Amino acid sequence: MKILAVYGSNYGQTEAVIRRIAQALEALGHEVNVFKGDSVPASVVVEDYGAVVVGASILVGKYQDYIRDFVTRNLPRSKPARRRSSR
């Protein structure tokens, strides 16, 4: 399956977690494309992926604005199987 992984990270920890998740998925035979949320190329089309993983840190009670924007822009087009959040 082709999987898109998008992350928001202030100090690098969330990026490390997403990259570790991507490695585990690739070991299972999936193709994973990883992008920081503020650097997702315009050519990326969410509908081209079988799954989307979004990871973000929380700083001062908020996710990064670019992650919220990415999810808001793409949520109507996606059908999440499960959402996990500490909020």
What is the structure's pLDDT at 81? 55
Lowest mean pLDDT across 43-47, 62-66, 80-84: 80-84
Predicted TM-score of the model (pTM): 0.84
Cα 54 to Cα 72: distance, rounded to the nearest angstrom: 12
* pLDDT digits 0-9 by tens, 24-38: 999 999 999 999 999
pLDDT in tens, 60-71: 999 999 999 999
**What mean pLDDT is predicted for residues 68-79?**
80
